[in-house]
Amino acid sequence: MFTGIITDIGEIAEIEQRGDLRARILCHYDRDTIDIGASIACNGACLTVIKTGYLGGQTWFDVEISAESVAKTNIGSTWKPGARLNLERALKIGDELGGHIVSGHVDGIATVTGIEDDGDSTRVTFDTSPDLARFIAPKGSVTLNGTSLTVNGVDGTKFDVNLIPHTKTVTTWGTVALGHRINLEIDMLARYVARLSEFSGSSGT
């Protein structure tokens, strides 16, 4: 489990198809603290560490990515050597829950359709599929490329969020552009509430 609070910006050093897709990701974490089998959210996708090492004095870790993960995320279209990724280590008992509960299971894609200045912040508008948009509510939480964000407003399949300067500095959001395809994980609570409502509706008919 994660919180959507980004703790590092990683960079893809290598990526290749070996049956499943395999990537080597540079990071600033202490290699001694990364266990083989550990979970790290990479742009919001929970991936398992299979190997670690050093490159030029910097820590790297390897992950394998299944075809299902590639199909559900932006990995196939955006992960290339030099690409920067939002990283978050898995929660430990006693950690501060600064964002919201995030599973690291990407539900689909949201596409950036609008970017505008809003004071010192940046308002970004996204469009997603109708089956995911129904779970997104004003002032609710959403995870975008691994970042826990608050929804400002919703209009059909479109929704928008505000990025404060701090968020743009400590994540990859400082380079967001129109047309970017973003990993979207809907709020876990919204998913369960909707599911319970379906059962309640069917039992009353």
Domain pair 8-89 / 108-196, same fold = yes
What percent of the chain has a predicted confidence (pLDDT) above 90?
A: 82
Q: Where are the domains positioned within the chain?
A: 8-89, 108-196
- Which tens digits make up the pLDDT trace of 149-201? 999 999 999 999 999 999 999 999 999 999 999 999 998 877 767 666 666 66
- Which tens digits make up the pLDDT trace of 11-49? 999 999 988 999 999 999 999 999 999 999 999 999 999
Q: Write the DSSP assignment of the chain as a string of letters.
A: -B-S---EEEEEEEEEEESEEEEEEEESS-GGG--TT-EEEETTEEEEEEEEEEETTEEEEEEEE-HHHHHHSSHHHH--TT-EEEEEEPP-TT----S--B-S---EEEEEEEEEEETTEEEEEEE--HHHHTT--TT-EEEETTEEEEEEEEETTEEEEEE-HHHHHHSGGGG--TT-EEEEEE-HHHHHHHHHHHHHHHHT-
CA angle 113, 134, 148 (to 5 degrees): 65
What is residue 188's predicted lDDT score, i.e. its pLDDT? Answer: 80
pLDDT exceeds cutoff 80 at 95: no
What is residue 91's predicted lDDT score, i.e. its pLDDT? Answer: 84
What is residue 203's predicted lDDT score, i.e. its pLDDT? Answer: 55
When pLDDT is cut at 50, 70 and 90, the band that residue 55 belongs to is confident
Q: The CATH number of 8-89 is which of 2.40.30.20, 2.60.40.3680, 3.20.10.10, 3.30.1370.100?
A: 2.40.30.20
pLDDT exceeds cutoff 90 at 122: yes
What is residue 202's predicted lDDT score, i.e. its pLDDT? Answer: 60
Write down the pTM of the prediction: 0.91
Nearest-CA neighbor of 41 among 146, 143, 142, 141?
146
CATH architecture of the domain with residue range 108-196: Beta Barrel (2.40)
- Which tens digits make up the pLDDT trace of 61-94? 999 999 999 999 999 999 999 999 999 999 877 6
Nearest-CA neighbor of 142 among 102, 196, 173?
102
When pLDDT is cut at 50, 70 and 90, the band that residue 99 belongs to is confident
Whether 105 and 46 have beta carbons less than 8 Å apart is answered as yes
Retrieve residue 50's tokens: 């299979």
Pairing of strands 141-144, 84-89: unpaired
pLDDT exceeds cutoff 70 at 109: yes
What is residue 19's predicted lDDT score, i.e. its pLDDT? Answer: 85
